[in-house]
Amino acid sequence: MAHRKTLFLLVEDFEDSRFMMRRLLEMAVTMALKEKPQLILMDLSLPKLDGLAATRKIREHRASAKIPIVAVSAHDSPQSRNEALAAGCNEYVTKPIDFEHLNSVVTRLLH
């Protein structure tokens, strides 16, 4: 089966930022496909990186579509949570991270 090349649209006026954003998104998707991790912790609040876009791209590929993705964000709002779940995240954890809760989430998703 031929894989479509991943396409990202970046709207950014600073050329160096565009380059870094593109590389980070491509690396996230490539690593998910190549390494086939058992779980992905996706920070949604990274500067210059859209974790929701990376999640959507990871979900597009059959090889990585079922990998559990836990969104990690500083935004504790129903809207942010809903956006992450709609993008394909399985769970949503807020910062500062409650590691006991994170452990519970990870354990549940891996079993």
pLDDT tens, 71-97? 988 899 999 999 999 999 999 999 888
Does residue 31 fall inside a structural domain? yes
Q: Which domain holds residue 75?
A: 15-110
Distance CA 99, CA 28 (A): 23
Domain count of the chain? 1
- Nearest Cα to Cα of residue 58 among 17, 90, 20: 90
> Which own/partner contact pairs does 17-24 have at CB distance under 8 Å and 24+ positions apart?
17/48, 20/48, 21/48, 21/49, 21/50, 24/48, 24/49
How much of the chain, in percent, has pLDDT values that exceed 70?
Answer: 78
Does residue 8 fall inside a structural domain? no
Q: How confident is the prediction for the chain on average, in pLDDT? A: 82
Residue 69 pLDDT > 50, yes or no? yes
Whether the predicted model's global pTM rises above the 0.85 cut = no
Distance CA 61, CA 55 (A): 11
Does residue 37 fall inside a structural domain? yes
